[in-house]
Amino acid sequence: MSVEGKLLEDIRAATKSGMALGNERFKNELASLTGRRLHALPPVRKPGWRKS
């Protein structure tokens, strides 16, 4: 049995980020049960992160 293509990419991305893999309903149910955020936030730097 081999896993290829988009499924393999999705599994790798979920594993690398530590996020759940599944549909939105599954992720929402897990989030409500665990109290954890189960989606990645966009990368943002806070103002003033670079001090002169």
Tally of domains in the chain:
1
pTM comes to: 0.58
Predicted pLDDT at 52: 60
In-domain check, residue 45: no
In-domain check, residue 50: no
Predicted pLDDT at 19: 85
Predicted pLDDT at 2: 78
Residue 23 sits in which domain range?
A: 5-34
Residue 4 burial class via C-beta count within 10 angstroms: exposed 0-12, middle 13-18, buried 19 and up: exposed
Predicted pLDDT at 1: 67
pLDDT tens digits, the chain, 52 residues: what are they? 677 899 999 999 889 988 888 898 998 999 899 888 877 778 887 777 776 6
Residue type at 36 in one-letter notation:
R
Predicted pLDDT at 33: 93
In-domain check, residue 14: yes
Report d(CA 6, CA 22) in Å as an integer. Answer: 13
